[in-house]
Amino acid sequence: MRITSIGSTRSIDGGNKYASIITGWCGLKRQALLAFIVALQLAATFSTQIIVVRFIGIGVQTDAFSAALTIPAVLSAILIAALQSVWLPRFSAESSNKELWRDNLKVALGQSMLLSGGIFILAVGTMQWWLHYIFPDFSIAQLSSAITLSSILSIASIFNVLSSILVIAFRSQSRFYKIEIIALLGTIFSLIALFYVIPIWGLVGVALITLGRSLIIFIIQMAFLGWPSISVGRGYKSCKTWRLMGPVFAGAIIYKTSPLVDRFWASQSSIGGLTLFNLAQMAVGALAIMLERSICVPIISRFGYYVANRDYKELKSSYRFGVFQITLISILFVFAMILLKDPFIEIIKFILNVNIDDASNIWWLCLLYVGYLHVSASGGLPVAVLYSLNDTKTPFIIGMIGFIASLFIKAFSFILFSLPGLVLATSIYYILNMAFMCWICERGINARNSQ
């Protein structure tokens, strides 16, 4: 079809094609800018670990610090997964109704306050009775240090959980840049403070700086959103969201505790092994977060809207495109790690001030973590699709089955091949879990589309 006017002839199809090209180009520019901002933030975050290693050195103290980071991180991941499974689709679907959107934000903050406050208080209060089971080879001094540091980091994690609600609120309104810039600036200021704090207070100072960063970021986010109230009472009474959250919370308790299993085995390797393991996982995890926030988060933020408008074709194509992009980048990551092995090892030696054996071990661990990289970045896509379809039970079932299977795979691999075997087993577990989740996701979309 063509529309002709005086002195001009224009093709509607051609105009639409041109608009699609512009839209696609703008999307790529947004991804690139988000990736750049997040990369700076994660580089600053990882620099914290570098500073700790350079000041303290790799050994029993840094192993205790790595252990202290684990407990709050795992609990935060469980709580954030449960809360976001319910509230991200709801914020997305109701983003055009500002009054309802803001009312839901109050309830979501109330629920996050109840969950995070209760869970972390319970964890800190009982840690002395169970931490030695997770890190059986730790000395009494290491356990004591880990408990002290973990208690401080747990308070920081309460603010992180609250911030996670504010983050998805920002994202549901396509406000991606502001939250990342806030986090970047907070991390940079805390990084500068470390140079003055570590020589005086050591690792306790690092934990206190982390707490200060979390608190300041939370306050700034609240200010940008106009200081929404935290409705604890309404959050407690919101029975529907608790019911939807239940399966996700139960599932997250199982499969989000995978890092505890990893560190249980890693702590039984040679002295400093847990630190090397943690450094490799943090480095690859930082890249995964960068990919997730720049590629997957803008896609996921629209899922609730697509479902509300019954646009299942766009839902499927957008999630598939995200998975394809992450797959391509993961393949490039493997080639880059192999081709740049020697420069990578030299850079690690220089930055961390470690010997060539430790640097080579970090290279191996990073390379074998490719499956973890892919699924950590893209795994939220199929899960978010199922959540947007109000299916919170299926990810729980898949995660539970995969977690149980991974226990045997990881134990067998660590006994045979030590840390490299543990990392390879982790990648295999993540890839198999992702493949099955995508298969279920496709079936869910097709079933809903046929109704």
Q: Are 182 and 283 found together in one domain?
A: no
Q: What is the pLDDT of residue 225?
A: 85
Distance CA 319, CA 303 (A): 9
Q: What is the pLDDT of residue 12?
A: 40
Q: Are 241 and 266 found together in one domain?
A: no
- Does residue 414 sit within a domain? yes
- Does residue 17 sit within a domain? no
* pLDDT band of 176, cuts 50, 70, 90: low
Instruction: Count structural domains, the chain.
Output: 2
Whether pLDDT at 37 is above 80: no
Compute the C-alpha angle 88/93/97, nearest 5°: 115
Q: Are 270 and 174 found together in one domain?
A: no
Q: Are 204 and 276 found together in one domain?
A: no
- Does residue 3 sit within a domain? no
Distances, alpha carbon 273 to alpha carbons 58, 365, 372, in Å: 9, 11, 19
Q: Are 217 and 334 found together in one domain?
A: no
Q: Are 202 and 108 found together in one domain?
A: yes
Mean of pLDDT values over 244-270: 79
Q: Are 231 and 365 found together in one domain?
A: no
Q: What is the pLDDT of residue 44?
A: 65
361, with CB counted inside 10 A (0-12, 13-18, 19+), is buried
Q: Are 73 and 123 found together in one domain?
A: yes
Distances, alpha carbon 58 to alpha carbons 146, 199, 218, 277, in Å: 16, 16, 32, 11
Whether 152 and 197 have beta carbons less than 8 Å apart is answered as no
For residues 431 and 172, the model is more confident at: 431
Helix (H) or strand (E) holding 11: strand 8-11
For residues 243 and 150, the model is more confident at: 150
Q: Are 196 and 327 found together in one domain?
A: no
Q: Are 414 and 340 found together in one domain?
A: yes
Whether pLDDT at 10 is above 50: no
Mean pLDDT of the chain: 83
Whether pLDDT at 15 is above 50: no
Helix (H, G, I), strand (E, B) or coil at 362: helix
Q: Are 337 and 222 found together in one domain?
A: no
Q: Are 214 and 327 found together in one domain?
A: no
Q: Which domain holds residue 410?
A: 257-287+311-451
% of the chain beyond a pLDDT of 70? 88
Mean of pLDDT values over 431-438: 92
For residues 211 and 243, the model is more confident at: 211
Query: Cα 111 from chain centroid?
Result: 20
Which of 214, 245, 276 finishes a domain? Answer: 245
